[in-house]
Amino acid sequence: MGSVKDLEILKKPEGDNLGLGRFTFSDDYSVLDFGKMPDSIKGKGVSLCMTGGYCFEQAEEQGINTHYRGLVNKDGEVVYTDELDEPTNVMEVNLVRVFPPEFRDGEYHYANRQTTNNLLIPLEIIYRNYLPKGSSVFRRLERRDISYQDLELDHYPEKGEKLSQPLFDVSTKLEETDRYITWEEAQKLASLNNAEVDEIKETLSKINNLITKIASKAGLVNEDGKIELAYDSNGRLMLIDVLGTLDECRFTYEGIPVSKEIAREYYRNTFWADDVETAKRVAKENGIEDWRKICRSEPPQLGVGLDRIVSNMYTSTANEFLGRKIFDAPKLGAVVGEYLEWYK
């Protein structure tokens, strides 16, 4: 059970043999690493499933190895997006083994990898083409967790800056709160050699270019996004989880956010966001694994009317990506216009 999708295990991964599972995408959403929020966004689950399936199919056409098997239609058949007459929220995928780190003495400890077969890489791999004002990069720079030199930039970046070349970033995947780390730390944590790191970055570059091309059809700019990776039963790098959706990527339409960033921006201006930051800081200082247990407040619901606008953004973007009106949603430009009116 996840905060935005549930996993049904049809066959467990064992040894070198991949497992089999199905994601069921829900209308739930998550921000600030909190988990399931108190309300939901209508149509989000089916639009994520359709968008993610389409992007997986496009990745496979580019020769990229993925765990995607197809989408499950109303008759229980596994098909591709162009074979569906109506949207679905169920995706079938291959599964790999996961070895979570052990939390002790206030820190996470990862075991040395013994094989490259049938194994999750415990990292989230991030590309950044722009540095929008909401980017975590600026918070890390302000806290002096990193310097711009650490990011291989030749100057201190400005908010909203388009980078001359993509910045590749990395964070942990299996900890209570995602933690940004250096590539050197990531290599040690995941027991990766130099050639494997190079291959990961090459795959990330291919996905970045692919999503940029797909998004441009909808008039969207691909500002940043993330992918997750594993090794298949033969030790080949494999794209997993989901990609190219409004949850995995930060898109803009004529400079206006079209992604989960809208919800993030709304919540950053609430009292709850301040309590979240305090809880995370206190948890880190005191070696507490789950900061949610000490958060002083619960999150409010999305603003009145914003839930419907965000819903239309998800479904309209899916229509644009797939190139057909599979959802009854306004054109994306109209949805963005409505958001601007709401924001005023």
187/172 Cα distance (integer angstroms): 11
- pLDDT, one tens digit per residue, over 110-128 is 988 888 899 999 999 999 9
Question: Number of structural domains, the chain?
Answer: 1
Per-residue pLDDT of the chain (344 residues; tens, 9 = 90+): 556 889 999 999 999 999 999 999 999 888 887 878 888 899 999 999 999 999 999 999 999 999 999 999 999 999 999 999 899 999 999 999 999 999 888 889 998 888 889 999 999 999 999 998 878 899 889 888 888 888 888 899 999 899 999 999 999 999 887 889 999 999 999 999 999 999 999 999 999 999 999 999 899 999 999 999 999 999 999 999 999 999 999 999 999 999 888 888 888 888 998 998 999 889 888 888 888 888 888 988 887 789 999 999 999 999 999 999 999 999 999 999 999 988 76
Contact present, 282 and 295 (Cβ < 8 Å): no
Task: Give SS3 for 280.
Answer: helix
CA of 65: how far to CAs of 231, 260, 297, in Å? 10, 27, 43
- Where residue 267 sits, what CATH number does that domain have? 3.30.470.20
Domain that holds residue 163: 5-343
Q: Which residues contact 152 (CB under 8 A, 6 or more apart)?
A: 167
Residue range 177-218, pLDDT digits in tens:
788 999 999 999 999 999 999 999 999 999 999 999 999 989
Q: Is 83 exposed, middle or buried (0-12, 13-18, 19+ CB in 10 A)?
A: exposed
